[in-house]
Amino acid sequence: MKEYKFDDYDGKKYSFEGYYAIISNYEKINFYNDNDEYLGNVITDDMESCIKDLENGANPIVDQWEDGAGTTLRMEGWT
């Protein structure tokens, strides 16, 4: 669920059960749990596809997205 949006992608926030994600720039999405503890990030060269997936209901942890280095996202973190 999109909570707020600034210009372009920067600062767009998505909430999921137990965690949230913030698109911090044009290639990086940072993930935090509900206690604001950093879980890790995803680096992508196709942010438009990521945003489209998120806005169509994708859940990066449930859907087992990878971080760009081959590590699967999980609620415990992947940093």
Low-confidence residues of the chain: pLDDT under 50: 1-7
Provide the domain limits for residue 47.
1-79
Where b means 16+ CB within 10 Å and e means fewer, 17-40 reads: eebbbbbeeebebbbbeeeeeebb
**Would you state the structure tokens that stand for residue 26, as one six-digit string?**
């044009």
- pLDDT at residue 48, rounded to an integer: 87
- pLDDT at residue 4, rounded to an integer: 36
Domain count, the chain: 1
Neighbours of 53 (CB within 10 A): 14
